[in-house]
Structure 1
Amino acid sequence: MEKLLYVTANPKGLEKSKGLKIGEAFLESFQEERPEVGISRIDLFSFEFPQMDADLVLARGKLAGYGYTLDQLSQPEREKITKMHALTDEFMTYDYYVFVSPMWNLNSPAVLKAFIDNLFVSGKTFAHTPNGPKGLLSNKQAIHIQTRGGQYTNTPMQELESGDRYLKIALRFLGINVMETVVAEGFDINPQRVPEILEQGIINARSAAKAFAKGLVQV
């Protein structure tokens, strides 16, 4: 059975988060198109996963470049790298990924970057080749839904946005086909228009979901 992983990075919850409301609309429309696809959810603010601390950085380096085996690592290194690989292995079982996050201080919440760090595993999600790194997660599809308080699209502020750009770069590096981002912006600078912006975001998300569903990967 094909599977979709729905990853959210917003601590406010559905009732208060505009982005999560837009994300739920996306999922609803996607399920209407393809009800047979299994959906799993990860709320990154309540999900435990390894952080890139000294143990994990050292373990990655030892295994990838210095010829160490898992048994030769220290116990903390071995435990953390094992959890990292388990998370990567689970991520790889999905065919479709939906990420929902706000823009905070020109980027995504740090928890999203920390999660993505776990997916860069040489030999699993990418490989080093004579022509440079090659993503191994081909035949998979992703989309990002992002909310912004300011107005960035087609303005001088556009070059300052780095959260959506990073996520797309990272996923494409791993070989994943990334569709155009669903953006809802201007909430903070146009408070009187919040309902209108939210409604348009939901409309755009529903439309994107239908296109996303039509591009389903055949496995």
Structure 2
Amino acid sequence: MARLLYITVNPKKDIEKSKGRQIGEVFLQSFREAQPDVEIVNWDLYSMDLPVMDEDLLYARAKLSFMGYKMEDLSENERSQITKMWALADEFITFDYYVFVTPIWNLGSPAILKAFLDCLFVAGKTFTYTKEGALGLLTDKKALHIQTRGGIYSSGRMEALEFGDRVLTATLGFLGMDVQETVYAEGLDHFPKEIPQIMAAAKEKAAEAARAMAKLPVNS
């Protein structure tokens, strides 16, 4: 059975208040229709206890990576942080499909997404080092980003200032994933009277993306 990890990055708990999650629900419904047996798991990053790149985690990674330390040599806090990080990465890589639903805030994604992505950079699990440089190991995974934007970032002067979708898709690609074309709804703050049309178009694109993604083979 294929597994899909649905990652929501928004403090709004009410789906009616989150346009991104409304689009995401259309994606999930269409994916289920195309793949009825898929197992879907939701990670709400704002409800998770995520390790952050603090001093303990930085030292723990360094000590275990190239300083010759063993787990028992670490401090209690270092062990706690690195254990949570590894556990998160281990669970993450058990999935086949990944859907991220995020807003763009102040040119980028919410900070909690960066904290989450930091936890995925685990040598030997999600990437490895080669003579040619780092190489992603998640080559059998498929990923998609659904993003809501208050402004217009697909063209014009703001295009070069969009660091949310750009960072996320680059990160997933670095880890080896097959990243699909982003589904976005933009201009939601600039054109409030056009929100129904903007949302309808984004939901249609999400449904199309779900049907296409469900056809992509994975190694389940």
Give the TM-score range, shorter chain: over 0.9
C-alpha distance in 2 between matches for 1:218 and 1:123: 19
After the TM superposition, which residues 119-158 of structure 1 pair with which residues of structure 2 at under 5 Å, given as runs? 119-158=120-159
Percent of pairs with identical residues:
55
Contact 2:96/2:219, CA 8 A, preserved across alignment = no
C-alpha distance in 1 between matches for 2:197 and 2:132: 48
TM-score by length of 2: 0.97
Q: Which residue of 1 aligns with 2:98?
A: 97
1:35 is displaced (CA, Å) by 1.1
RMSD: 0.8
After the TM superposition, which residues 34-183 of structure 1 pair with which residues of structure 2 at under 5 Å, given as runs? 34-183=35-184
Structure 1 runs (4+) greater than 6 angstroms displaced: none
1:141 is displaced (CA, Å) by 0.5
Unaligned 5+ segments in structure 1 are: none
Contact 2:142/2:180, CA 8 A, preserved across alignment = yes
AA at the equivalent of 1:193: E
Q: Which residue of 2 aligns with 1:21?
A: 22
Q: Which residue of 2 aligns with 1:6?
A: 6
C-alpha distance in 2 between matches for 1:124 and 1:203: 36
AA at the equivalent of 1:105: N
1:48 is displaced (CA, Å) by 1.2
AA at the equivalent of 1:54: E
Alignment length, in residue pairs?
219
C-alpha distance in 2 between matches for 1:161 and 1:189: 16
C-alpha distance in 1 between matches for 2:150 and 2:73: 48
Unaligned 5+ segments in structure 2 are: none
SS of 1:11 mapped into structure 2: coil
1:216 is displaced (CA, Å) by 3.3
1:39 is displaced (CA, Å) by 0.6
AA at the equivalent of 2:46: F
C-alpha distance in 2 between matches for 1:206 and 1:48: 31
Once the two structures are superposed, residues 91-115 of structure 1 have per-residue CA deviations (whole angstroms, 9 ceiling, x without a partner) of: 0100110000000000001111111
1:12 is displaced (CA, Å) by 1.5
